[in-house]
């Protein structure tokens, strides 16, 4: 045994990780020798660590007397620093608008050069502004969105730690990587999205432990899991995010995540589960503040009700939706509504109105040169024609859609299914099931 | 993303007002988790600066602050535990890798370690023996003992936890090895 006993304070510092390497080693070797007195002291300190870890399992005693604890003084001391930080950030956020405008005047490579070489672009405010701008454009222009977020990553890497603190800067860098992963997912670059999320995890683990940053990353990882059809993983990721949002009182984010989870189940062909989460999310969503999100969720709910066999309810909900579509939806969304209506009517075997709705939707998509959507509607029509024993129309549709899908990048199996459908149509051997399976495969291939 | 922009409306005095209101609750959380006073300031500062640094704001600053502080308190203790495991691991690996250390000292450490290892569960004994007395790397330990290479890091960490508990005189706690 190495017999020089460490001081009691040193043993405490050892357990709390406050010692340098050499002292650590000395104490480890001493304890290894089995000194009973030092082990007793260490056990006491270790007990505090265990108590601290166990504390998460019990509620905070709201009546506990904290007056003598000295924590009140701690709170007072940090108030002043937080106030100064708030003022500094306000200034930076105000400046970020003009910095963004300045950057936008240059081509992307020059923007990168400016950010990499000029300190005035290395601000927290500009990084936030770039992230928000990129995120806002993710569906309208995914390529521009990606450029914005990549620029935000560059800025985040240059935000000075000495001004903001290491932990917070890691949080910001982690956030930028989370958004980068999401932007890459939107552009279907799944491998690089995964890499960005991995970097985000590492950075956030080195950050302040902000639970909302973690929840955001979990949500984005959930989106990626859905996109790559890892449906066994996605609900768990959303559940972890939901737990954090509930603890933090983030009702809006909680509602959105419930809708995300519902969408995941819908994509996984589990419409009944999807209905549960979409309805729960809609109940919690502020539909006045977020009318478009609410409309999209209601649309998905109608799709899932129909897919889970609740056709009458789906039709009733769709009728309730129509005014919102007129109010908010552009003509393209109204076409999608008409398509959905045709699908529901076909499920109810109301042949004539179903055919009318599907034909109208198909013509609308063709007029907009949206061949893929038009061909998918044509498959719904084909199912209707099979059911109503109209083989000539089925043959015609099979001949029309084959070149549309062949010209796109769909998998070999899907092309084989298309050819099989085409051949079956020639000999009048198409079944409704065959058409439905083909339509599902093509929707997935999109 | 469109949540109320609380932080944009707020300034230093608003934060001060909120904190003054929440001061008893924040103090009780720190007390509940038994955070040492000298570290409490860093924890609280982190959580507050995170709040003021969030541009998109939070819906309920009070809930966010309280949940954020609880979470950081938990992280605080977890990082303490990790730091201790790391310190023990490094010290034992170092004892192997120091040829300049007098042979008698090395011999004594090896003897003490062997004795200590007899007092922890046998499966951990095998893992740590290979690591600290034969200097094998985790993939080699996994191969020798038939563990999956993807799980050897977790197995090693759990065994290290058992050893640390032994060193800290708290004995073997079966629950901690699950």
C-alpha B87/C-alpha A432 separation (Å) is 67
- The Cα–Cα gap between A406 and A196 comes to 33
The residue in chain B having the minimum alpha-carbon distance to the alpha carbon of residue A64 is: B28
B36-54 average pLDDT score = 84
pTM of the model: 0.76
Is A37 a domain residue?
yes
Helix (H) or strand (E) segment spanning residue A395: helix A391-406
The predicted model gives A67-86 an average pLDDT of 76
Q: Tell me the nearest-neighbour CA distance from A197 into chain B, angstroms.
A: 19
- The per-type count for chain B, helices as H runs and strands as E runs, is 8, 0
d(CA A226, CA A257): 13
What is the average pLDDT across A84-93?
81
Question: A297 pLDDT exceeds 50?
Answer: yes
Q: Are A418 and A406 in contact (CB under 8 A)?
A: yes
Cβ distance of A21 and B47 shorter than 8 Å: no
- Kindly state the tokens that stand for A47: 């007990």
A201 located within any domain = no
CB A341 within 8 A of CB A318: yes
Which of 60-79 (B) contact A at CB < 8 A?
60, 62-64, 67-68, 70-79
Tell if the CB–CB gap between A212 and B51 is shorter than 8 Å.
no
CB A97 within 8 A of CB A125: no
Q: How far is residue B52 CA from its own chain's centroid? A: 27
Q: Tell me the pLDDT band of B6, cut-offs 50, 70 and 90.
A: very low
Exposure of A68 in the CB half-sphere (CA atoms within 13 A): 2
Report, as an integer, the average pLDDT of B37-42. Answer: 86
Does the pLDDT value for residue B7 go beyond 70? no
Q: Tell me what the pLDDT averaged over chain A comes to.
A: 89
SS3 state of residue B137: coil
Tell me the CATH number at A330: 1.25.40
Residue where a domain stops, chosen among A332, A350, A369: A369
Q: Which residues of A139-177 are buried (b: 16+ CB within 10 A; e: fewer)?
A: eeebeebbbbbbbbbbbbbbbeeeebbebbbbbbbbbbb
Instruction: Give me the sign of the Cα torsion angle B45, B47, B48, B53.
Output: positive
Q: What is the distance in angstroms between the CA of the first residue and the CA of the last residue of chain A?
A: 69
Q: How far apart are CA B135 and CA B155, in angstroms?
A: 17
| Structure confidence at residue B2 as a pLDDT band (50, 70, 90) | very low
Residue A381 lies in a domain: yes
Mutation choice for B interface testing from A30, A45, A86, A134 by most B CBs within 10 A: A86
Nearest CA in chain B to A77: B41
Do residues B33 and B77 make contact, with C-beta atoms less than 8 angstroms apart? yes
- Return the pLDDT at A182: 96
Instruction: Name the residue ranges covered by the structural domains of chain B.
Output: 6-79, 98-177
Q: Test A82 with B49 for CB contact under 8 angstroms.
A: yes
B101 touches chain A (CB under 8 A): no
Q: Is B170 on the interface with A (CB under 8 A)?
A: yes
Note whether A359 and A381 are within 8 A (CB). Answer: yes
Q: Is residue A238 part of a domain?
A: no
DSSP letter for A418, please: H
Q: How many domains does chain A have?
A: 3
Interface test with B, best of A1, A8, A49, A291 (most B CBs within 10 A): A49
Of A369, A400, A419, which one is at a domain's C-terminal end?
Answer: A369
- Phi-psi region at B11: left, alpha or beta (left = phi > 0; alpha = psi -120 to 50): beta
Is the distance from CB of A208 to CB of A171 less than 8 angstroms? Answer: yes
Q: Element (H or E) spanning A30, and its range? A: helix A21-32
- Residue A423 forms part of a structural domain: yes
- For the domain spanning B98-177, the CATH number is 1.10.10.10
- Cα–Cα distance for residue pair B155/B145, rounded to 1 Å: 11
* Distance (Å) of CA A261 to CA A97, A239, A279, A310, A403: 35, 8, 11, 20, 35
- How large a percentage of chain B has pLDDT more than 90? 6
Q: Tell whether B109 lies on the interface with A, counting CB pairs under 8 A.
A: yes
Which one, of A72, A1, A78, lies nearest residue A39 by Cα? A1
Residue A198, pLDDT above cutoff 80: yes
Q: Which DSSP category does B41 fall into?
A: H
The pLDDT of A26-30, averaged and rounded, is 88
pLDDT in tens, A234-288: 999 999 999 999 988 899 999 999 999 999 999 998 999 999 999 999 999 998 8
* Segment (H or E) for A384: helix A371-387
Containing structural domain, residue A346: 286-369
Residues A410 and A340 in one domain: no
Which residue in B40, B93, B167 has the most chain A C-beta atoms within 10 A of its own C-beta, making it the best mutation to test that interface?
A: B167
B102 vs A: CB within 8 A: no
- What's the whole-number mean pLDDT along residues B24-28? 88
Q: Is residue A31 part of a domain?
A: yes
Nearest by CB: A66 against B27, B58, B87: B27
Among A39, A66, A74, select the one facing B44 at the smallest CB separation.
A74
B67 and A46 in contact by Cβ < 8 A?
no
Query: Any chain A CB within 8 A of the CB of B132?
Result: no
A343 and A384 co-located in one domain = no
Residues of A in contact with B69 (CB under 8 A): none
Number of other residues whose CB lies within 10 A of the CB of residue A332? 13
In a domain, A16, yes or no: yes
Average pLDDT of the segment spanning A423-438: 85
Same domain, A351 and A391: no
In a domain, A117, yes or no: no
**Domain final residue, candidates A348, A369, A390:** A369
Q: How open is the CA angle A364-A370-A371, to the nearest 5 degrees?
A: 105
Residue of B nearest to A252 (CA): B3
Cα A6 to Cα A40: distance, rounded to the nearest angstrom: 13
């Amino acid at each position: 045994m190495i017999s020089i006993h460490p001081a009691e304070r040193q043993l405490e510092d050892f357990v709390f990780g406050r010692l340098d390497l050499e002292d650590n080693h000395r104490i480890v070797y001493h304890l290894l020798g089995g000194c009973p007195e030092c082990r007793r002291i260490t056990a006491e300190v270790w007990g505090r660590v265990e108590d601290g870890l166990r504390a998460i399992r019990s509620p905070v005693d709201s009546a506990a007397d904290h007056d003598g604890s000295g924590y009140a003084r701690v709170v007072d001391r940090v108030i002043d620093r937080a106030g100064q930080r708030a003022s500094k950030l306000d200034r930076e956020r105000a400046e970020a608008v003009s910095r963004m405008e300045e950057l936008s005047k240059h081509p992307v490579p020059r923007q990168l050069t400016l950010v990499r070489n000029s300190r005035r672009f290395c601000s927290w405010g500009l990084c936030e502004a770039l992230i928000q701008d990129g995120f806002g454009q993710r569906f309208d222009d995914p390529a521009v969105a990606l450029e914005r977020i990549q620029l935000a990553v560059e800025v985040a890497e240059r935000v000075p730690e000495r001004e903001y603190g290491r932990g917070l800067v890691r949080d910001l860098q982690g956030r930028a990587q989370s958004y980068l992963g999401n932007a890459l997912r939107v552009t279907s670059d799944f491998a690089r999205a995964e890499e960005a999320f991995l970097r985000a995890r590492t950075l956030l683990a080195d950050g302040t432990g902000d639970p909302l940053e973690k929840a955001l990353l979990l949500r984005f990882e959930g989106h990626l899991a859905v996109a790559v059809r890892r449906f066994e993983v996605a609900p768990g990721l959303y559940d972890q995010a939901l737990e954090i949002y509930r603890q933090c009182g983030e009702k809006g984010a909680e509602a959105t995540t419930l809708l995300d989870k519902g969408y995941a189940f819908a994509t996984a062909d589990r419409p009944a589960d999807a209905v549960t989460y979409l309805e729960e999310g809609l109940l919690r969503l502020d539909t006045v503040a977020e009318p478009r999100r609410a409309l999209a969720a209601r649309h998905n709910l109608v799709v899932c009700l129909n897919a889970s066999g609740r056709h009458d309810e789906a039709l009733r909900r769709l009728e309730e939706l129509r005014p919102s579509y007129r109010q908010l939806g552009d003509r393209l969304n109204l076409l999608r509504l008409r398509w959905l209506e045709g699908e529901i009517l076909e499920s109810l075997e109301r042949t004539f109105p179903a055919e009318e709705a599907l034909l109208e939707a198909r013509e609308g998509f063709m007029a907009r040169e949206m061949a893929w959507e038009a061909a998918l509607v044509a498959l719904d029509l084909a199912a209707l024609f099979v059911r109503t024993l109209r083989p000539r129309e089925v043959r015609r549709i099979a001949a029309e859609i084959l070149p549309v899908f062949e010209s796109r990048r769909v998998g070999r199996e899907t092309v084989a299914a298309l050819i099989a459908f085409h051949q079956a149509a020639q000999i009048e051997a198409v079944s409704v099931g065959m058409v439905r399976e083909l339509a599902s495969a093509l929707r997935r291939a999109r | 993303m469109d949540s109320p922009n609380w932080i944009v409306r707020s300034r230093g005095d608003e934060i001060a007002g909120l904190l003054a209101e929440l001061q008893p609750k924040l103090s009780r959380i720190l007390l509940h988790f038994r955070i040492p006073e000298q570290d409490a300031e860093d924890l609280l500062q982190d959580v507050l600066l995170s709040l003021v640094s969030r541009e998109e704001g939070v819906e309920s600053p009070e809930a966010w602050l309280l949940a954020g502080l609880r979470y950081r308190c938990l992280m605080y203790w977890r990082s303490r535990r990790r730091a201790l495991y790391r310190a023990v691991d490094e010290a034992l690996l170092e004892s192997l890798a120091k040829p300049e250390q007098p042979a008698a000292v090395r011999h004594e450490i090896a003897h003490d370690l062997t004795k200590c290892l007899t007092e922890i569960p046998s499966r951990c004994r095998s893992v740590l023996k290979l690591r600290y007395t034969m200097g094998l790397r985790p993939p080699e330990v996994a191969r020798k003992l038939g563990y999956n290479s993807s799980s050897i890091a977790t197995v090693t960490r759990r065994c290290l936890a058992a050893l640390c508990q032994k060193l800290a005189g708290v004995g073997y706690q079966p629950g901690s090895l699950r």
